[in-house]
Amino acid sequence: MLKFFLTRLATTIPVLILVTFVVFGLVLLIPGDPAVTIAGPDATVEQVAAVRVRLGLDRPMVVQYWDWITSAASGDLGTSLFTSRPVATSIGDGLPVTIALAATALLISLLIAIPTAIVSALRRGTWLDRVSTIGSSLGIALPSFWLGLMFVLLFSLTLGWLPATGYVPMSRNPGDWLLHIFLPALTLGIAGAAESARQLRGSIIGVLQQDYVRTARAKGLRGRMVIGKHVMKNASVPLVTVLGLQITALLGGAVLVEQIFGVPGLGQVAINAVTTRDIPVIQGVVLVAVVVAMGSNLLVDLTYGYLNPKVRPR
């Protein structure tokens, strides 16, 4: 398993290098000259040129890239063009919040999806199954910004159970943290829950027809063991694939949900940077997002190795 992990880790390095090219190249694709933006609308040509020199934008691309990548490798992602804060600090503030939000959303979505899928697969064709299928379709179809607003309307404004906006770090007060993160996480997780439930229901139904499930029953194993062990380990493979895709979607969705609920995560940092064309921050956010996505894909592959022994190298 360690060898599998290391070989898989090694294959991410070329991808990572490629990604840094793309992230760096983004700057070239963005319309507008940052030097002009920084210098302000009334600046003279000389002033713009001076700003360009100060920021190092006049140097050859290769030099700029090398500079950027070596600093990034040592954790220095540059400084914001506007706030003059180090980019790494802004990301360091926002990233844990976004990760907490996405992880909670993922947890909530699995807590909804797994029992729903098992019940619907075992009671296939009954009203329970139909209700959950309709629920899944709705969950996939409803946009998260609308759902988020409805949740705020219901749970915060009408029932008054949960705060509508804001965020409390877990380190300060875990109880408050949970109260604040629950609605955003539910909003973010519900589409994933619907998708996972549908996928898992299908694969459970497929696995239930396998001969080895009959063998498990013939051994006299209890229903809980047959489903929980023999069926679920095999049925989880397609679910893990879906989850791998969902993790990236969760990061994207978090941007929106953070806006709705006023959660100070990476999404806020990204949106501010994009509206002000704060290129070092954009680059930093994209790079971090890509690394997180690649990390989650790595995790997915390792999970495959656990679930399906055939995937492991020998």
Q: Give the contacts of 18 (CB within 8 A, at least 6 positions apart).
A: none
Binding positions for other proteins, 204-243, rule CB under 8 A? 210-212, 214-223, 225, 229-230, 233-234
The residue among 47 and 210 lying less far from other proteins, judged by its C-beta, is 210
Task: Identify the sign of the CA torsion 82, 23, 9, 108.
Answer: positive
Ramachandran region, residue 296 (left: φ > 0; alpha: ψ -120 to 50; beta: rest): alpha
The residue among 237 and 249 lying less far from other proteins, judged by its C-beta, is 237
Q: How far is the CB of 168 from other proteins (least distance, A)?
A: 42
The residue among 118 and 263 lying less far from other proteins, judged by its C-beta, is 118
- The size of the interface with other proteins (CB under 8 A), counted in residues, is 22
The residue among 227 and 287 lying less far from other proteins, judged by its C-beta, is 227
The residue among 116 and 234 lying less far from other proteins, judged by its C-beta, is 234
The residue among 187 and 234 lying less far from other proteins, judged by its C-beta, is 234
Task: Identify the sign of the CA torsion 34, 38, 40, 46.
Answer: negative
Q: How far is the CB of 200 from other proteins (least distance, A)?
A: 16
Check binding of 307 to other proteins (CB under 8 A).
yes
What is the rounded CA–CA span in Å between residue 141 and residue 194?
A: 9
**Angle at 259 (CA atoms; ends 183, 134), nearest 5 degrees:** 50
- Using a 10 angstrom Cβ sphere, with 0-12 exposed, 13-18 middle and 19 or more buried, the burial of residue 119 is middle
Find the length of the chain.
314
Binding positions for other proteins, 172-211, rule CB under 8 A? 210-211
Question: How many of the other CB atoms lie within 10 Å of CB of 6?
Answer: 10
What is the rounded CA–CA span in Å between residue 264 and residue 95?
A: 9
Q: How far is the CB of 78 from other proteins (least distance, A)?
A: 47
What is the x/- site pattern for other proteins, positions 79-108, by CB under 8 A?
A: ------------------------------
Q: How far is the CB of 199 from other proteins (least distance, A)?
A: 18
Q: Which residues bind other proteins (CB under 8 A)?
A: 210-212, 214-223, 225, 229-230, 233-234, 307-310
